[in-house]
Amino acid sequence: MLFNITGKHITITDAMRSYAEEKTAKLPKFYSSVNHMEVVIDGGEAGNNVSVEIIARGEHSNVFVATEVGEDAYKCIDGVVHKLEEQLRRKKTKERNNKHPTGGHESA
């Protein structure tokens, strides 16, 4: 899986990079076709709010995006990973339900 992290108006430290990489590494277990993660951390012009956005790209042009805004970058990373987990879980559930529809057999 490819991993890319970008900082806007903020310096990305090694600790922040490893934390984001560790958290996003768990996401493919929710939807296995995810093959590229891009994390964008925006420190903002004023510097008091941090915005974290994760863009997960999968096979067949599937793109999942989640954003979180807060004061602490680490809490924002946790929040955005949780949002992305829910999106991936819903997508996988939807695909499973489409493969095996219920009520396909009629009783005679």
Q: Which CATH number do you get for residue 66?
A: 3.30.160.100
Q: Which domain holds residue 36?
A: 2-99
Flag whether 33 is in a domain.
yes
Flag whether 107 is in a domain.
no
Confidence at residue 108, expressed as pLDDT on a 0 to 100 scale: 47
**Structural domain count of the chain:** 1
How large is the average pLDDT for residues 80-105?
82
**Number of other residues whose CB lies within 10 A of the CB of residue 5:** 17
Tell me the C-alpha distance between 42 and 49, whole Å: 9
Flag whether 106 is in a domain.
no
Flag whether 35 is in a domain.
yes
The tens digit of pLDDT for each residue in 60-82 reads 888 999 999 999 999 999 999 99
The tens digit of pLDDT for each residue in 18-52 reads 999 999 998 888 888 888 999 999 987 766 899 99
Prediction pTM value:
0.83
Cα dihedral 63, 11, 50, 46 in deg (nearest 10) = -130
Flag whether 14 is in a domain.
yes
Tell the burial category of 13 from Cβ atoms under 10 Å away from its Cβ (0-12, 13-18, 19+).
exposed
